[in-house]
Amino acid sequence: MRLLVVEDNPRMAELIGQGFRQLGYAVDIAERGREAEEQALHQAYDVIILDIMLPDKDGVQVCRDLRRQGVDTPILMLTALSTTRDKVGAFDAGADDYLAKPFEFDELFARVRALLRRGRPQEGATLRIEDVEMDLLAHRVTRGGERIKLSNREFALLEYFMRNPNRVLSRIAIAEHVWDTAFSGESNVIDVYVGLLRRKLDRDAGRKLIHTVIGRGYYFGPTPPDS
């Protein structure tokens, strides 16, 4: 999953980014409102964490302008302002949630998870594909009831696969949602991690779920498409 954190306090931005990166998220950071708008318009994000008090443009206005331009990414507002009027203003601008500072990272993480589940009401806190189960809260994966230990990056990669089953996912799409850096056609990091995940998930299973589609990317599901 890829997040955009819009926060002009470098220390706060780095703490939020570091927290989510340790959980396997890809995180971009913007310190100004106009910079955030530019990024949100040209990059697909799963959630935007947006501070209200920005140096160049009010975060509420940033939210309103993004909605006017057709950006429907879930937006969570962060601010030291916590009056009812402030909250109403944020929601009226198109925000999906509101968290007042100071806050605990665990609460921020839980709210981001809740936003990710919106639009997927059947999902709950667990993803299930075939005999693979992923507990999003406990950060735990099993296949056929057997625990599979994954690194944070492997977990994030599998989560992206499980949120997009039976679809061919290009390396560019995987890079945008699972990695922080732009994809380089010369890099084999995605192939390496898919190989690591495949060995852990499919090696001892009778039915393979991770398939390579030559020239197109990867496919997660029981029946591989024609390559």
pLDDT at 184 over 80: no
The answer to whether the pTM exceeds 0.85 is no
User: Using 50, 70 and 90 to split pLDDT, how confident is the model at 70?
Assistant: very high
Q: Is the distance from CB of 77 to CB of 54 less than 8 angstroms?
A: no
Taking residues 128-148, what's their average pLDDT? 91
Q: What is the pLDDT of residues 72-118, one digit of tens each?
A: 999 999 988 777 888 888 899 999 999 998 899 999 998 998 888 77
pLDDT at 145 over 50: yes
How many residues can be counted in the chain?
Answer: 227
Q: Is the distance from CB of 99 to CB of 76 less than 8 angstroms?
A: yes
- What are the chain's domains? 2-117 (3.40.50.2300), 126-220 (1.10.10.10)
Mean confidence (pLDDT) of the chain: 88
Taking residues 189-211, what's their average pLDDT? 91
Q: What is the pLDDT of residues 38-51, one digit of tens each?
A: 999 988 899 999 99
pLDDT > 70: percent of the chain: 93
Q: What is the pLDDT of residues 202-224, one digit of tens each?
A: 988 888 999 999 888 999 998 87
User: Using 50, 70 and 90 to split pLDDT, how confident is the model at 157?
Assistant: very high
Q: 3-class DSSP state for residue 195?
A: helix
User: Using 50, 70 and 90 to split pLDDT, how confident is the model at 179?
Assistant: confident
Q: Which residues, including other chains, have CB under 8 Å from residue 166's CB and lie 6 or more apart? A: 219, 220, 221
